[in-house]
Amino acid sequence: MIGVNGRPLTVSPLRVTVSPCLYQKAFELGSNGHFQLPCGIAVNKRNGNVAVADSVSRRIQIFDSEGNYLRHFGDIRDSTKNLMMPLAVEFSALGEIIVIENYGAMILCSNKGKFLNYIGHVRKPCSVSLKSNGDLIVCDSADADVKILSVNVYGSYKRDSFGADPALHGSPSFAIHHEDRFFVSFPKTRCVKVFSDDGGFLYNIGTSSRVNEQLCRPVGLAIDKFNKLIVCDSDGCRLQVFTLDGSHVRCIEGRDNGFQSPQFIVASKDGRLFLTDTGKKCVHVFH
C-alpha cells in the first residue's frame, strides 16, 4: 500500500514492485564444537539471551544475543538439576527456563539453571512455546494434542487443550500462537494446521499441489518481523515461508544457505532468526 501524509493512496497510477525479504547468514553458534545434537531453542524476550537444548551432551547452553557463550547447566551433579536428555527449551515470561526431557518430564529452572519444580498436566511433551500472556503451549505426543498451561514456581494448571484426529493426522510437533490463531506442525500429514483461539480448526498450510510449495516434514515454526510464518521443513532440508493465511512466499534452500537438517527456529526482537541444525551440529543465525 502507498500512503501520503498517513492516508492511503488508492487511485494512484504508480506501480511498485515488492520483493520478499532475503535472509542472509550472519554467523553460526557452536561450529567450534559446542554442540553434539542441538534441538530446541529459545530467545529470552527480556535480554535477548539464547538457550539451546543439546540432547547428547545433556545440557542447556546459554549465549548472549551476539552469540557469545555465557554458561551452561544440566550435565553435572551439583546444586542444579541433572538433565538426562533435554529436547526442548523455553523462557518463561519471568525469564525462568523451562526444559523438556526425552523421558517426558517438564522442568522449571531458574535463569541460572537451578531446579525449581516439575510442571504437571502433561504425559509426554515434545515441544513448548510461550503465549503472549505468559501461558505455555505444549505439544504432548502421548495425547496427540496441544495443551495450554499456566505455570509459576509453585506448579502449573491446565487451561485448555485441542488437536486433530490422531489416527488421521498423528501427533503435533510444534505449536505457536500469534494474534488470534494457533499454528501447529503435523509431520505425518505434512502440513501446518491453523486453529482459532478456542481450538477450532481453520485451514491447512503447505498442502499445495506445487512441489516447491509443499511441506515434507514440518517441525519448528516461527513468526518473523514481517509477519510471515517460517517453517522448518526438516526432510526437505529447507525453510518454507508463508503468509499467515497460507500463501507461499518463498523457499530458503539449505544447500544455498549452509544448513542440512533444520529442526527448530526462533525469531528475536531485532528480527534475527536462530535455527538449530542437527546435521551440522550448530545454530545458524540469519538477519
Domain 21-286 in CATH 2.120.10.30? The answer is yes
**C-beta atoms surrounding 56 within 10 Å:** 14
User: Using 50, 70 and 90 to split pLDDT, how confident is the model at 76?
Assistant: low
User: For cell 514481517, what's the residue?
Assistant: 226
Amino acid at position 48, single letter? G
- pLDDT given for residue 170 in this prediction: 97
d(C-alpha 252, C-alpha 236), whole Å: 10
3-state secondary structure of 241: strand
Contact status, residue 1 vs residue 248, Cβ threshold 8 Å: no
pTM of the model: 0.92
- pLDDT given for residue 81 in this prediction: 58
Residue 37 has pLDDT above 50, yes or no: yes
What is the largest distance, in Å, between two alpha-carbon atoms of the chain?
69
Domain definitions of the chain by residue range:
21-286
d(C-alpha 140, C-alpha 129), whole Å: 12
Residue 78 has pLDDT above 60, yes or no: no
User: For cell 542447556, what's the residue?
Assistant: 60
d(C-alpha 33, C-alpha 213), whole Å: 34
* Residue 271 grid coordinates: 528480527
Residue 120 has pLDDT above 60, yes or no: yes
Residue 15 has pLDDT above 50, yes or no: yes
